[in-house]
């Protein structure tokens, strides 16, 4: 198993020195945890992380405290900090929250059906399709997030996207484990296209139905994911 410093070195964390370090360290560590570069059970050393980021241990400590609040790390005072295992209960709650919000987002967008939004969403799908064809999973995931963020922004609720993202670490890790399964990437592309088609047609009920179908995929496969990755997943 690679050390955290090695995993971070591969991702080349570079901080903007004109901004506060702690939020940047937080965002980068969260991204690496969700991407499973920092795997469940991995020990995180403040000293090693501080060295990797080129900062003091203070912003690293602050970032780890936030990650503990999000359930992505377990902190054992005076002992160790480690990446948490994927908590199924928290993943289900995040799914419930995201589904409730995105059903309303889809209905709102279908009520407006702005042609410019439809074009932007289809362009994102095209980039995501190219990433899948190239086997570029990080870019595929980035496009997936961009697609959904675009919907929240178009519905004028960007703050809710940020809230959903903060609460979705366990769900996102499940989705990352599910993505390499044969046909999963193609299913995501198909679902995205169907959501956009429904929005373009001003079919609010259809848009809701497509979002519900899209967001159900990983949750329906939780037991299969747990069976394939028993060391990563807990109840």
Q: What is the pLDDT of residues 1-51, one digit of tens each?
A: 556 656 665 555 677 777 888 999 999 999 999 999 999 999 999 999 999
Where in the chain do CATH 1.20.120.530 domains reside? 87-234
- Given a contact cutoff of 8 angstroms between Cβ atoms, the answer to whether 40 and 231 are in contact is yes
Strands 233-234 and 86-87 turn out to be: parallel
How many CB atoms are located within 10 Å of the residue 17 CB?
9
Put residue 145 in one of left, alpha, beta given phi > 0 → left and psi -120 to 50 → alpha. Answer: alpha
Beta bridge mates, 73: 83
Choices 3.40.50.300, 3.40.640.10, 1.10.10.10, 3.90.1150.10: CATH for 4-84: 1.10.10.10
Choices 3.80.30.20, 1.20.120.530, 3.20.20.210, 1.10.760.10: CATH for 87-234: 1.20.120.530
Put residue 55 in one of left, alpha, beta given phi > 0 → left and psi -120 to 50 → alpha. Answer: beta
Where in the chain do CATH 1.10.10.10 domains reside? 4-84
pLDDT tens profile 16-30: 777 888 999 999 999
pLDDT tens profile 155-208: 999 999 999 999 999 999 999 999 888 899 999 999 999 999 999 999 999 999
Q: What is the 3-state secondary structure (H, E, C) of the chain?
A: CCCHHHHHHHHCCCCCCCCCHHHHHHHHHHHHHHCCCCCCCCECCHHHHHHHHCCCHHHHHHHHHHHHHCCCEEEECCCEEEECCEEHHHHHHHHHHHHHHHHHHHHHHHHHCCHHHHHHHHHHHHHHHHHHHCCCHHHHHHHHHHHHHHHHHHCCCHHHHHHHHHHCHHHHHHHHHHCCCCCHHHHHHHHHHHHHHHHHCCCHHHHHHHHHHHHHCCHHHHHHHHHHCCCCEEC
Q: Is the dihedral of CA 59, 138, 213, 115 positive or negative?
A: positive
Which pTM value belongs to this model?
0.87
């Amino acid at each position: 198993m690679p050390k955290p410093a090695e995993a971070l070195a591969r991702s080349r964390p570079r901080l903007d020195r004109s901004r506060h370090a702690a939020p940047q360290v937080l965002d980068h560590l969260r991204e690496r945890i969700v991407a499973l570069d920092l795997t469940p059970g991995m020990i995180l050393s403040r000293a090693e992380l501080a060295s990797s980021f080129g900062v003091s241990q203070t912003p690293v400590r602050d970032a780890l405290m936030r990650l503990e609040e999000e359930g992505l790390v377990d902190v054992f005072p005076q002992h160790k900090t480690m990446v948490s295992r994927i908590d199924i209960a928290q993943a289900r709650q995040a799914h419930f929250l995201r589904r409730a919000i995105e059903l309303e987002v889809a209905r709102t967008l279908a009520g407006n059906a702005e042609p410019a939004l439809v074009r932007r969403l289809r362009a994102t799908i095209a980039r995501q399709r190219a990433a899948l064809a190239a086997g570029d999973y990080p870019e595929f995931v980035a496009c997936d997030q961009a697609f959904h963020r675009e919907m929240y922004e178009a519905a004028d609720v960007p703050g809710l996207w940020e809230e959903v993202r903060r609460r979705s670490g366990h769900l996102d890790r499940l989705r990352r484990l599910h993505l390499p399964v044969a046909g999963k990437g193609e299913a995501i592309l198909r679902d995205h296209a169907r959501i956009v088609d429904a929005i373009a047609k001003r079919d609010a009920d259809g848009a809701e139905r497509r979002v519900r179908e899209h967001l159900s995929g990983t949750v329906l496969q939780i037991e299969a994911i747990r069976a394939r990755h028993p060391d990563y997943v807990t109840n």
